[in-house]
Amino acid sequence: MDSVEQLLKDLSDAHGVSGAEHEIRAVLSHHLTVGELSTDKLGSLICDLGGDGPRVMLMAHMDEIGFMVRNITKDGFIKFIAIGGWMDQVVLAQRVIVKTRSGDRLGVIGARAPHLTPPDERNKMIKQENMYIDIGCSSKDEVEALGVRVGDFIVPEGKFDILANGKTYMGKALDDRVGCAVMVEVLKRLAREDLGTHVFGVASAMEEVGTRGAVTATNIVRPHLAFILEAGLAGDVPNVGEDESTEKLGGGPVIGLMDYNMLYHNKLRDFVRAVADDLGIGTQVEFMPRGSTDGSKVHIYGEGVPTLTLAVTTRYFHSHNAIMHRDDFDQTVKLLVEVIKRLDAATVDDISAFDIS
C-alpha cells in the first residue's frame, strides 16, 4: 500500500458511530501531523493550519452510521435501534461489532429463517424492528456478563480492500472517511505553501444524526469561506437513470449544485470550475434532493458563508461496503489545493460580494 491507501484503510477501518467518535478522532489526530489540533465540546476535531487573511474551512464528517443496543431479550438476543439512515434491505445478515465496556463483541444481524416464514410473508421486506443481533449467547445473563449494556454503540464490521484493478477501493464508512482523507492530504500539501488565507480543517462529529458538529465547530472557526468534503452519489450502477445521477467512478471531482437544505454558492462554484478548467481536470455535478450535508448549517453561519461541496464519487452509500476510485481522490485533492492557493482577501471578498446597483 502507498501512503494514501494506508490513510484510507486506517480511516475506513476505524470505528466511529455518531456520538462515539473517539476512535476515529484518534486515527485522524495521528495522521494530521500539521497545524494545531483542538476539539469542540461535541468532539469535532479542528486543525488550525495558521496563516493570515480570510478564514477558509475544509469540513468532512468523521462519524459513520451504526446502531445502539435497545434491549436484551431473556434468550440472549440484542434488539437495536438505528443511528443514522439505514435501509432495511442492507442490514439483515451483516456482521456488526458491539462496543462494550469490556471490549468488542462480534455478532450478526438475524431474523426468522425463510424455512420458518409463511409463504405469504417471504417476499415482504423484513423491518429492523423484527431483526436482532446474535453474539452467540443463550441468555440475558450471559450477554450482560460479556459487558453488553443497553445504550452501547454498535458498528458495522468491514475491512478496507483494494479491488482487482488496483484503482478501486472497497471499505465501510467511506461516507465520509473519503472526505476526511481528502482533508488530511490537502492540509499536508498546503502546510508547505505560502498562502493568502488562514486555513482550518474540521472533522465534524454527529453529521449523520443532524449535522450537529457542523454547528459547534463553525462557531469556533468563524469561516469566511467553506468547502464541504463528501462522498458523492454514484449513478453508474444498474437501475439508476441519468435524471437521478450522472456521477461515475473515475469521472473526476464532484461539484455540488443543490441538496435538500441548501443551494451551493454560484460564484464559488464558478471559481472552482475555472480552476479545474485551468488544470485540465474534468468535473462532475451532483443534485441531492433527498439528502443534505454539513454545509446546510455552515452556509447560514453569521452573515452567511459562501459554501461548496466537493465530493469523491462513491457506490453503495450507507451500507457495510462502499466502493471508490483512486483517480477521483487524487484529482479532488489536486483541485482543492490549487483552489486554496489562488484564494486571497481580494478574491474572497469578490466571491462574497453581491451587486446592488
Choose the catalytic residue: 21, 64, 207, 208.
207
Say whether 207 is catalytic: yes
- For 98, phi then psi, to 5°, come to -90, 125
State the residue for C-alpha cell 451500507: 319
Q: Which residues are known to be catalytic?
A: 207
